[in-house]
Structure 1
Amino acid sequence: MKRSLSRAGRRATALIAAMAIAASSAPLPAEAQRGKLPLVRDAETEDLLRDYAQPIFKAAGIPSSQVEIILVNDKGFNAFVPDSRRMFINIGVVLDAETPGEVIGVIAHETGHIAGNHLTRLRQAVANAQIIGVIGALLGVGAIAAGTGAGSADLAGGGAGLATAGAGFAKRSLLSYQRGEEATADRAALTYLERTGQSAKGMLTTFSRFADQNLFSAKYADPYAISHPLPRERLNALETLAKKSRYYDTPAPASLQARHDLVRAKLLAFTSHPRSVERAYPRSDKSMAAQYARAVVAAQSRNGRAASKIIDGLLRQQPNNPYFYELKGQALLESGNPRAAIEPFRRAVSLRPREGQFLIWLGFAMVASDDPGLLPEAEKILKAGLQMDANSPIGYQQLAIAHSRQGETAEANLATAQGLMSSGDLRGAKQYASRAQKNLKRGSREWLQADDILSYKPPQLRR
C-alpha cells in the first residue's frame, strides 16, 4: 500500500509541477530560457521595426526607449514578449508579411501585452492555478490513503483520478485566463492602430492566414486546451470592429512599403539558398527589391566585384541609403578586400553616425586591413560602436585584435572577456577577465569592468 500511495502521490505532484513550469514559462520559448535562442543582427531591419513600433508605443503610453526589439533567426511566424522591456520578433514575421501593416499589427498586439501588464498577471494566474492543482492533488492522495480493505483498489484509483482531475482543471483555468489576455491584447492593438491613424487590415490578413492554415486541425481542437483563441474565432471577433475604423482602407505610405520590400528581399537572400532567391526574384524582375536580393546573393558568394556593381546601380537610385553602403562594405570585406571596404563603411557612418553596427563594421575593416597606422583609429571607432551596441561579439573580437597588435595584452584579454560574455560563454569570460585584471591598474575603469565580469552571477530561472 505504501508503494501504491507513493506512486500516485508522485504522479499527482509531477502533473502539478509540469503544469506550473509549462505555464510560468509560456511567454518565453525553452531556447530563450537556455540562452540558445538564435538571434540575428541587422541594422536596417531593426531600424524599420523601430519605426513601425514607435507610434504604437506612444499610443500605448510606453516610452520608446523602454522596449528593445530583438530579431530571432527563425522563419516561423511568431513574436513574443518575455517581460516589459524586450520584444522578440522572428524574421519569419517580416518574410511572410507582404505589407507593413501585417508586421505593425503583430507589434501592436505584443504591445497590448506589455501595456496591459499581462506578464505580471500571468505569474499570479500561475500561482492561483498551482493552488487549485495542489488542492486537487491533496484530495486525491487523501482518498488513496483512505483506501484500505475491500474496494481499496477502486478507491485508490478514484483518488488518483481526482488528483489528475485537479491538475487538469487547474491547467484549463490557466489557459482560459491566457485566452482572455490574448483577446484583450487584440482589442488593445485595434485601439493603438486607430490612435495612430493606421489600418487594421494587415492584422486581419495575418489572422486570416492562420485561420486558413488551421482550418482542418481546428475542427478537432479543444478550444479550452489551448492558450490562444482559435484563429477563425479570433478573426471574426476583430473583423467587425476593424472595419468600422475610418482608417481601414488607408494603405501604408509608399515610402514605408518600399522599405518593407527591401528588408524582405534582404532577409530572404541572407537566409535562403540562391535558387530560392531566384525563384522569388527572377531575372525579369527589375525592382529595387529584386536587385537588392541579387546583390546580397553575390556578397554571400564572396563575389565582391559583382556585388559592388549591383549595389552601385542601387546607389544611383538612392545615393543616400546607408544600408546600400553597408552591404557594399560587407561584400568587399568578406571577399578579401578590407581596405576597399573602409570607404563605403565610412560613408554609411556619415549618413547614420549613431548606428553602432556601422561603426563596428568600419573598425573591423580597418583592423582587417593589417595596417598598423590604422589601429589607434580602429580602436577608438570600435569602442564608440560598442558604447552604442554593447552586445556585439564581433566588435569585442576586433577590439581585442587591435589591442593585441598594439602590445596591450591586458586590454586585449578584457575585450575578449567582454566578447565571450556577450555571446553567453560565462566561464570563458571569467577566465579572460581574471587574466586581464592581474595586469590592470586596480580601481581603473578597465579593472572595474573585469571585476564586474568576475563577480557576475547568472539569475536563477524561476520555477
Structure 2
Amino acid sequence: MFNRIIFLVMLFLVAVSAPLSRASANNMSMIRDAEVENTIRAYATPLLEVAGIDPQSVSIYLVKDNRLNAFVAGGLNVFFNTGLLMRAEAPEQVIGVLAHEIGHMAGGHLSRLHDAAGRATAESIVAMVLGAAATMATGRGDVGAAVIMGGQHAAQRNFLSHTRAQESAADQAAVNYLDATGQSARGLLRFMEILEGQDLLQTERQDPYVRTHPLTRDRIDFLRAHVARSPHSDAPSRPGYEEMHERMRAKLYAFLESPVRTLRRYPETDTSFVARYAQAIAYYRRPDLGRAIPLIDELIAERPEDPYLHELKGQMLFENGRAEEALAPYREAVRLLPHPLLQISLAQVQIELGTPDMLEEARQNLSNALKIEGDNGFAWRLYATALGRLGEEGLAAYAMAEHALLGQRLPEAAYYANRAEQLLPQSSPTWLRTQDIKAETERLRENQKR
C-alpha cells in the first residue's frame, strides 16, 4: 500500500550506512506493499525450505532507498532496498541475493551482533529499537528520531558488516540452495559483477552492500567456477517469475519516481501489461483519474482474478474522495487475497463510510489483520476508532493502549490501559493483556529513568 509510506528509523539501516545523526535518521524510511512483499516471499520460500528455516517465521521489509543493499538483521528479518529491486535486471539476481542472505541467516552469522552490542552501549541499541517501533506506530519519522536521539551512543557503521570468511560461507550456502531448488546462480554472479567496479570508488560513493559485504576476487572466481560446472546454470526462470519481477519493478518505479519519468520509461506506445500498469499508477499520481481509471479497468477486464489490480483501483478512488466507489474494488481484493494490508485498507474505507454494518465489517477485517500484524500501529488506531463508534468503550481503550505502547507514548499507554482495565470483564483475555501493557509501560518508564 504505497498510499501509506511509513517513515521508519531503523537501527540496522543506520548501522550499515553511517554513524547516526538526526539528518540521517529522518531520511530513513520503509514502505509496505502486499504485491512486492509477496513477490519476494515467493522467491524466498523454496530457498528457506532447503535451508531448514520455516518461511512463515521470516519477515520481509522494503527499505525506500535508491542504493543497492540487502541484509538480514535482528533475527529472521530480511531487508531489501527498493534501489536493488528496481535495478535488478532479472528475478535470478534478486533470488541470488536472497540465497546469499539466507546463507548468513542459516550460518548463524548474526550472532556477531552480540559482540557489536558490547561496542555500542545497550542504551543506544534499546533507544534505536524503540525509535523504530515508535515510527512504525505513528507513521512519523521525527517521532522515531526523537526517541533514538535519546540514546547515549550511536551504533557504528560496521555494526552489520560481515567478515570475508562469512561472505564466502554465505556464497557457498547460496549456490547449494540454488542447486537444491534447480535454479541458476548466474543471477548472483551478475549482481556481484555489477558491484565489482565499486571497489575503486570512494567509500561514500559506494553502495552500502559493498561496504557491509566485502567483495573479493576469490568470491567472484568461486561463483564463476560454480556457474561453469553447475547443471542448473542454464535453467530458465520458474513459471511466472519474470512477470512478477517486471511488475514489481514497474510498480516501485511508478510510485517512487515522478509521473513524468515513469511515462518516459513506460510510454503509451508500449501496450504491454506491465507498461499499462505503470502508466495507470503514473496518471493516478498526477492526479489524472480520467486516464488512470480507464486503464486500470482495462487491466481488470483482462485479469479479473488479480487482487492487486482491484486494490490499486480502490486506492485511486479512496484517495480522491470517492469512498463509496472504492468499497467494491477493495472488497474484491480481499476476497481474492485476504492479506492483512488489504484488509486494513478495506477497513479504512468502511470506517470512512461509517454505517453500523460497515463498522462491524471493519472490526472483523481489522481483527483478522491484527492476528498477523500485531505491531501495526495504524491498524490498532483504526481498530480503536471502529470499536469506539460501535460503543465498545473498553475494547476501544484497550486498542488505544496497544497503539500508544507501539508509539512509545507511555503516559498515554498507561492511561488507556487503566481505562480498559476498569471497563473490561475482569480476567477476560483482553483484560489480562491490559495487565501486560501496564507492566511493559512501567518497565520502559524505569529504563528511561536510568
Q: Name the TM-score class by shorter chain.
A: 0.7 to 0.9
Deviations, residues 196-253 of structure 1 (Å, cap 9, x unaligned): 11111111111111112334559xx9xxx97643355532332122221111122313
For the pair 1:445 / 2:429, whether they are aligned, the reply is: yes
For the pair 1:63 / 2:54, whether they are aligned, the reply is: yes
Runs of 4+ in 1 over 6 A off after TM superposition: 27-32, 125-128, 174-177
Q: Greater relative contact order (Cα 8 A, min sep 6): structure 1 or 2?
A: 2
Q: CA–CA distance in 2 between the matches of 1:31 and 1:39?
A: 17
Matches within 5 A, 1:165-180: 178-180=163-165
CA distance 1:435–1:125, change in 2 (3 Å):
closer
Deviations, residues 296-324 of structure 1 (Å, cap 9, x unaligned): 22333454454321111111222211111
Deviation (angstroms), 1:95? 1.0
Deviation (angstroms), 1:403? 1.8
Q: Retained in 2: the 8 A contact 1:190–1:200?
A: yes
Deviations, residues 164-186 of structure 1 (Å, cap 9, x unaligned): xxxxxxx9xx9998111111111
Q: 1:251: which partner in 2? A: 236
CA distance 1:347–1:375, change in 2 (3 Å):
same
Q: CA–CA distance in 2 between the matches of 1:427 and 1:257?
A: 50
Q: Retained in 2: the 8 A contact 1:57–1:111?
A: yes
Q: Retained in 2: the 8 A contact 1:27–1:81?
A: no
**Identity across matched positions, percent:** 36
Using the TM superposition, name which of 439-448 and 311-320 deviates more: 439-448
Q: 1:263: which partner in 2? A: 248
Q: CA–CA distance in 2 between the matches of 1:121 and 1:226?
A: 17
When the two chains are superposed, the root-mean-square deviation of aligned CA atoms in Å is 3.6
Q: 1:53: which partner in 2? A: 44
Q: For structure 2, list consecutive stretches of 5 or more residues without a partner in the other structure.
A: 1-10, 120-155
For the pair 1:42 / 2:33, whether they are aligned, the reply is: yes
Q: 2:103 aligns with which of 88, 107, 112?
A: 112
**SS of the residue 1:236 aligns to:** helix
Q: CA–CA distance in 2 between the matches of 1:422 and 1:295?
A: 35
Q: 1:286: which partner in 2? A: 271
**SS of the residue 2:54 aligns to:** coil
- 1:356 is matched by which residue type in structure 2? P
Q: 1:360: which partner in 2? A: 344
**SS of the residue 1:335 aligns to:** coil
CA distance 1:127–1:385, change in 2 (3 Å):
closer
Q: CA–CA distance in 2 between the matches of 1:176 and 1:272?
A: 30
- 2:438 is matched by which residue type in structure 1? L
Deviation (angstroms), 1:362? 1.4
Q: 2:326: which partner in 1? A: 341
Q: CA–CA distance in 1 between the matches of 2:211 and 2:201?
A: 16
- 2:106 is matched by which residue type in structure 1? A
Q: Retained in 2: the 8 A contact 1:179–1:227?
A: no
Q: CA–CA distance in 1 between the matches of 2:331 and 2:173?
A: 43
Matches within 5 A, 1:119-268: 119-120=110-111, 123=114, 178-217=163-202, 228-230=213-215, 232-253=217-238, 255-268=240-253
Deviations, residues 394-414 of structure 1 (Å, cap 9, x unaligned): 322222221222233332232
CA distance 1:274–1:64, change in 2 (3 Å):
same
**SS of the residue 1:336 aligns to:** coil
Q: TM-score under structure 2 normalisation?
A: 0.77
Q: 1:370 aligns with which of 344, 349, 354?
A: 354
Q: Retained in 2: the 8 A contact 1:332–1:338?
A: yes
- 1:258 is matched by which residue type in structure 2? E
- 1:94 is matched by which residue type in structure 2? L
Q: 2:91: which partner in 1? A: 100
Deviation (angstroms), 1:335? 0.9
Q: TM-score under structure 1 normalisation?
A: 0.75
Q: Retained in 2: the 8 A contact 1:302–1:331?
A: no
- 1:450 is matched by which residue type in structure 2? T
CA distance 1:434–1:72, change in 2 (3 Å):
farther
CA distance 1:127–1:393, change in 2 (3 Å):
closer
Q: Retained in 1: the 8 A contact 2:268–2:279?
A: no
For the pair 1:385 / 2:376, whether they are aligned, the reply is: no
**SS of the residue 2:227 aligns to:** helix
CA distance 1:347–1:114, change in 2 (3 Å):
same
Q: 1:86 aligns with which of 77, 82, 89?
A: 77
CA distance 1:110–1:178, change in 2 (3 Å):
same
Q: Retained in 1: the 8 A contact 2:259–2:286?
A: no
Using the TM superposition, name which of 104-113 and 35-44 deviates more: 35-44
Q: CA–CA distance in 2 between the matches of 1:58 and 1:290?
A: 34
Q: 2:309: which partner in 1? A: 324
Q: Give the count of matched residue pairs.
A: 392
Deviation (angstroms), 1:426? 4.9
Q: CA–CA distance in 2 between the matches of 1:260 and 1:217?
A: 31
Q: Retained in 1: the 8 A contact 2:397–2:420?
A: yes
Q: CA–CA distance in 1 between the matches of 2:86 and 2:360?
A: 41
Q: Retained in 1: the 8 A contact 2:314–2:327?
A: yes
Q: 1:297 aligns with which of 261, 282, 285?
A: 282
For the pair 1:411 / 2:395, whether they are aligned, the reply is: yes
Q: For structure 1, list consecutive stretches of 5 or more residues without a partner in the other structure.
A: 1-21, 129-170
CA distance 1:460–1:51, change in 2 (3 Å):
farther
Matches within 5 A, 1:24-39: 38-39=29-30
Q: CA–CA distance in 2 between the matches of 1:45 and 1:59?
A: 23
Using the TM superposition, name which of 300-309 and 47-56 deviates more: 300-309
- 1:449 is matched by which residue type in structure 2? R
Deviation (angstroms), 1:266? 0.8
For the pair 1:274 / 2:249, whether they are aligned, the reply is: no
Q: Retained in 2: the 8 A contact 1:332–1:341?
A: yes
CA distance 1:409–1:227, change in 2 (3 Å):
closer
Q: CA–CA distance in 2 between the matches of 1:404 and 1:201?
A: 55
Q: CA–CA distance in 1 between the matches of 2:70 and 2:168?
A: 16
